[in-house]
Structure 1
Amino acid sequence: MLAPLIAILDDEPTIREMLAEALDKAGFRTACYARATEFEAALTRAVPDVCLVDLGLPDRDGLALVHRLALESGAVIIIISGRAQVQDRVTGLELGADDYIIKPFDPAEVVARIRARLRRPPTAERHQNIAGFEGWSADFDRYVLRADDGREVALSHAEGEVLRLFLESPRRMISRAQMQESLGGTAGESFDRAMDVRISRLRTKLGEDPRNPRLIKTVYGAGYIFLGNVTWG
């Protein structure tokens, strides 16, 4: 079985080399790119398991690229950037990134974050990757929702992992702390706002009434609960 492939997109050679060395030693495969055009061309040949993306790219808006990757690739997306403002982190997570690491960083932290993102929760190992619920099926190999009429709706990796968490624990309240522990990331305002956005987008894609959602209910001050009936297989 091939080791996970990590794509490193950063215009600084020292950053690429440092990350590639740390990841190679940790047992991952790596591919490095200095420009977005090179990276996007490589995506047509193989989709990485994880994309490490710098926002300050010379030929493309980094946030726009993150958003496209979130919708189309199904890869784990981790932003690595020198932009340290809370709003920058929130925007990156809202656009579909799974995590946000601020430069300068310790390569060991990046390796640990990647391992945490690629590690499936133990409950996921007991299920296949397709779940049916309330007129929908969720395919976690392709990260798509499929309606009974055959219509398909794409999920970002981040949205898909939130939905997976709900579907693995239906009719049980999931606290913010449990979400943070299961999904990774750093607790705080940016994580909370990112979760709010992902859940809002999931509700929209499921055709939920935002004022009175039927499936994903907010338990104010506590967390969320998924009320649908779920079957795996």
Structure 2
Amino acid sequence: MQTRQPLVFILEDDHDLATILVRTFREHGFDVESFGLIRNFERRLSQVRPALCFIDMRLPDGPGLDLATRRLHSENIPVIIISGVWTEVTDRVLGLEMGADDYLVKPFSPREAVARARAVLRRAEGTAERGAEIARFSGWTVDFRSHRLTAPDGEEIELSGSEVRLLRALVSLPQRVLSRETLMDGDGMSATITFDRSIDVRISRLRNKLREDPRNPRIIKTIYGAGYMFAPKVEWLAATET
């Protein structure tokens, strides 16, 4: 029996683009459903949980970004946002800051959408497989299963799914320089995109939650021209130890 890949939801009001994406994903073995309106998307979401969603930022019945952050983020469903070439760069950065896992700018290749979907799903699956682990560093504790970051003073801070996956990648290889490409797990898929700040935006968001001085970060260090390095030593704990 052939094993089907995870279900992908596409919320896109451009009928031609949605049709092409559906056909391409099916050709690559995915289950996929498309929607042109938020209300139809939400109705189906109440019945079935997808593995990944593509969400257009501008839709006839409301902003797609609101949906991505209001519901999908709370349910830990990975999201790739779709924006038009006319969309302000600050809007795309905002989408990443609010928890989206990746973005695509129109026009884009349908095969690139498939590649990005696979990369996001690999990161999500890797986090789920190791999600019971708990890490401590510099007085901080992070529980990857509960998406909970605990500060040295005991304050609990919620992490988004994309933040969990990025932090997990960093703490798994401490005191090593990791390139943006490595952190994106992207097979070079972003090399042709002019706007490529997704990792930088997530790093900035993590630093903010870790109370880092942006001018002199001590936990996640920038290695100019190379990438980032997670500086502290990391102690791994079983869930029963907390």
Q: Does residue 206 of the first structure (1) align with residue 203 of the second (2)? A: no
- Which residue is 1:178 aligned to? 182
Q: TM-score, normalised by structure 2?
A: 0.75
For 1:173, the aligned partner's letter is V
- Which residue is 1:97 aligned to? 100
- Which residue is 1:73 aligned to? 75
SS in 2 for 1:22: helix
Unmatched runs of 5 consecutive residues or more in structure 2: none
CA 30–154 in structure 1, closer or farther in 2 if over 3 Å, else same? farther
Quick check: 1:84–1:102 contact (8 Å CA) kept in 2?
A: no
Paired residue total: 228
SS in 1 for 2:62: coil
The percentage of aligned residue pairs carrying the same residue is 39
Quick check: 2:184–2:199 contact (8 Å CA) kept in 1?
A: no
Q: State which of 57, 60, 69 in structure 1 corresponds to 2:59.
A: 57
1:57, distance to aligned residue in structure 2 (A): 0.3
SS in 2 for 1:190: coil
Question: C-alpha offsets along residues 199-232 of structure 1, whole Å, 9 cap, x if unaligned?
Answer: 1211222333444434222234432221231316
Q: TM-score, normalised by structure 1?
A: 0.78
Quick check: 1:76–1:157 contact (8 Å CA) kept in 2?
A: yes
Quick check: 2:93–2:201 contact (8 Å CA) kept in 1?
A: no
Q: State which of 115, 135, 143 in structure 2 corresponds to 1:138.
A: 143
- Which residue is 2:110 aligned to? 107
Distance in 1 separating the partners of 2:185 and 2:135? 25
Question: C-alpha offsets along residues 112-146 of structure 1, whole Å, 9 cap, x if unaligned?
Answer: 22122222499x59x7222312331232x55x124
- Which residue is 2:44 aligned to? 42
Question: C-alpha offsets along residues 187-209 of structure 1, whole Å, 9 cap, x if unaligned?
Answer: 466323x3232112112223334
Distance in 1 separating the partners of 2:104 and 2:74? 22
Distance in 1 separating the partners of 2:179 and 2:111? 29
Quick check: 1:47–1:73 contact (8 Å CA) kept in 2?
A: no
Unmatched runs of 5 consecutive residues or more in structure 1: none
Distance in 1 separating the partners of 2:181 and 2:16? 36
CA 102–204 in structure 1, closer or farther in 2 if over 3 Å, else same? closer
Poorly superposed stretches of 4+, deviation over 4 Å = 148-152, 180-185
Cα RMSD (Å) of the superposition? 3.3
